[in-house]
Structure 1
């Protein structure tokens, strides 16, 4: 990297955790890219977090361990951090700073783009439309992911959210149109990073994947850069390259904790649960980089995965994420206890844009009706199960027993699938029909009569109760 025109300073005033304070600076701006030069000749990289008079606070991406303030030089580039963008990222495995982990050369591109991204004029946005099919019945059937949508996964520690993130990244498609996946892992253990590399090996070899892995022992500052780098790469592939790009970000709780650690090092006044007061706007600056642009073929869809500390959905990270995004996929310990994978709680999950990506001319004509009826039946089944706990099974009506049968069939036949199993949407919807047809016809009031007539005698019509 050429450093011509860079300005060097040697007056390092203080080292504070991952931060470095330089005095005597002039003309330095916020978010400026920095090179930190050690006396040994080694170099580290940083970004300006704050400028106050002649003082600049720099976050060092590799950390400040081993730095000697008296012999350290800091060079300011005069512009924000830029990275090369283009199809050269496809098929590559890199760390959270974009440095290769696969033994290949550094990633190059025809042009550079700032990792902070370019603001997108709201008037140029097209509303999300058309589905991204994940091959997972619980998502495709009931909470369909739409191109250009931001749909988070809310999980708990110990539940298989990483397995689901890897499965979606490995098998998602856009109906035969050019499609790519950018997977950004933050705060992963080395075992989890190895698992993700194995799961996504085939897609990476096909040149359809960009894999960025930040492990738990990497510098905490790198964790803040990783999702921004992933979205910068995705924006170019989608908006300039005409691809439909799915960005999987896991775990956003690790990202938020890194943000909290840096905020504490800066001495900022904490807000809720010690997170910085700007956590909402910071998360929004990431999530809002997805979408579709008028006149362009591609799209960027974001699937953030986060864990809820203590299972608390009102925790700042899931709470603020829910305000910004368009629905949520919620994991349930009860579903996990029933040995269902993925353990998605359908009644707590929602895709607010599902009607823009499912139904006639998009998926299947009966998709929305079937999903609505199945959710209504599951809600009634939950009420019946609670009633059975109070009065006993013997006091239930025959119809109530059918609802309990439907609930068991839903878990066993519809939700549960192997982590390496890809289900076609037609298979998913036929499974939904087989579950629903365990109810008497009078209970299926949300389904048109002609659809019921067709499925009573079709492959899904195994039994008609009463």
Structure 2
């Protein structure tokens, strides 16, 4: 270990798996970001001085003497009204090559709103889609699962909901989108002239799967800014939560955690709940409503992912 400009640089890694590295380090916080051999990583486990980091792009090319530098803070998103109309990656960096964001840097993945401060959801979000408005009415502050077969055009339906919904802001969190789906969302939003009320965080199939774990928290941090600070009605669209859960499984399996049902981590319920429970109707009139796609493998509604999702969302 050496120290450079008051920053500790560790050069001894004790264990390397396909997705994680473990080393001895002190003064490190949970969820803190780090750079491992030039690759971005995040602290996922601390046992005494043994620190385990998940490396977002995978550990290929990392050696036991690769440099590890801790950043001293967890992932953050710069929030401002300038978020609207932009496409970002899982780290909150502009995708379209535009200017970097100015604004207040806020930690992602914070706590949910105290139930005491919530109001009973009662306001309709009209979508103009009869099957939804008549049979499955969306109310502000709800968390709504959208179970779909992988072969169904669920992203087209989500884009349709985004354009028609009577909401102040639409936040799209895309996880494992194909490039075709990403371009589809982009073109549909641009052609409809709706970009001024849409914020998108996108992880495509070309990006490392583990990066998907950041997308919902990025999307919900943006949603909280508009709902809590600005008192706006925000609709969050998350697609696809099955690919998010698969990324959770990748990390937990690489950490040799004992898998639960369907090879999912034992923490799956909590991991999903901390996302869905961000749905809220606030006293100031602001609200966060979440519609999340969960694709079903072979139509199996009993799989751990839809099973847990149904419990959390009462879906």
TM-score of the alignment, normalized to the shorter chain, above 0.5:
yes
Secondary structure in structure 1 of the residue aligned to 2:144: coil
1:93, 1:210 within 8 Å by CA — same for their partners in 2? yes
Equivalent residue number for residue 426 of structure 1 = none
Question: Is 2:76 aligned against 1:77?
Answer: no
Equivalent residue number for residue 183 of structure 1 = 172
Worse-superposed segment, 95-104 or 150-159: 95-104
1:190, 1:215 within 8 Å by CA — same for their partners in 2? yes
**Which of 189, 194, 197 pairs up with 2:186?**
197
Equivalent residue number for residue 14 of structure 1 = 15
Higher strand share: 2
Equivalent residue number for residue 32 of structure 2 = 32
**Which of 99, 103, 113 pairs up with 2:97?**
103
Which residues in structure 2 correspond to 1:329-348 (within 5 Å)?
Answer: none
Provide the rounded CA distance (Å) in 1 between the counterparts of 2:61 and 2:193. Answer: 36
Equivalent residue number for residue 432 of structure 1 = none
Provide the rounded CA distance (Å) in 2 between the counterparts of 1:137 and 1:206. Answer: 24
Question: Is 2:94 aligned against 1:93?
Answer: no
Higher relative contact order (CA 8 A, sep 6+): 2
Please, what is the CA RMSD of the aligned residues? 1.8
Deviation at 1:31, TM superposition (A): 1.4
Provide the rounded CA distance (Å) in 1 between the counterparts of 2:8 and 2:122. Answer: 48
**Which of 318, 322, 325 pairs up with 2:310?**
322
2:113, 2:280 within 8 Å by CA — same for their partners in 1? no
Provide the rounded CA distance (Å) in 2 between the counterparts of 1:255 and 1:286. Answer: 11
Deviation at 1:156, TM superposition (A): 0.8
Question: Is 2:145 aligned against 1:145?
Answer: no
Deviation at 1:118, TM superposition (A): 3.0
Deviation at 1:237, TM superposition (A): 1.1
Equivalent residue number for residue 153 of structure 2 = 160
Provide the rounded CA distance (Å) in 1 between the counterparts of 2:130 and 2:7. Answer: 54
Residues 247-293 of structure 1, C-alpha deviations (whole Å, 9 max, x = no match):
00001001111111111001000110110111001100000011022
Provide the rounded CA distance (Å) in 2 between the counterparts of 1:7 and 1:231. Answer: 32
Deviation at 1:5, TM superposition (A): 6.0
1:300 and 1:20, CA in 2 relative to 1: closer, same or farther beyond 3 A?
same
Equivalent residue number for residue 226 of structure 1 = 215
Question: Is 2:297 aligned against 1:304?
Answer: no
Deviation at 1:205, TM superposition (A): 5.5
Which residues in structure 2 correspond to 1:117-156 (within 5 Å)?
Answer: 117-156=110-149
Provide the rounded CA distance (Å) in 1 between the counterparts of 2:269 and 2:197. Answer: 32
1:6, 1:75 within 8 Å by CA — same for their partners in 2? yes
Equivalent residue number for residue 208 of structure 1 = 197
Question: Is 2:253 aligned against 1:264?
Answer: yes
Which residues in structure 2 correspond to 1:444-459 (within 5 Å)?
Answer: none
TM-score (norm 1): 0.64
Higher helix share: 1
1:92, 1:204 within 8 Å by CA — same for their partners in 2? no
1:6, 1:78 within 8 Å by CA — same for their partners in 2? no
Provide the rounded CA distance (Å) in 1 between the counterparts of 2:68 and 2:151. Answer: 43
Deviation at 1:326, TM superposition (A): 4.1
Gaps of 5+ in 2: none
Pick the structure with greater CA Rg.
1
Which residues in structure 2 correspond to 1:42-61 (within 5 Å)?
Answer: 43-61=38-56
TM-score (norm 2): 0.93
Which residues in structure 2 correspond to 1:365-376 (within 5 Å)?
Answer: none
Question: Is 2:118 aligned against 1:112?
Answer: no
1:203 and 1:102, CA in 2 relative to 1: closer, same or farther beyond 3 A?
farther
Gaps of 5+ in 1: 328-466
Residues 342-386 of structure 1, C-alpha deviations (whole Å, 9 max, x = no match):
xxxxxxxxxxxxxxxxxxxxxxxxxxxxxxxxxxxxxxxxxxxxx
1:5, 1:77 within 8 Å by CA — same for their partners in 2? no
Provide the rounded CA distance (Å) in 2 between the counterparts of 1:161 and 1:116. Answer: 26
2:85, 2:198 within 8 Å by CA — same for their partners in 1? yes
Deviation at 1:308, TM superposition (A): 1.0
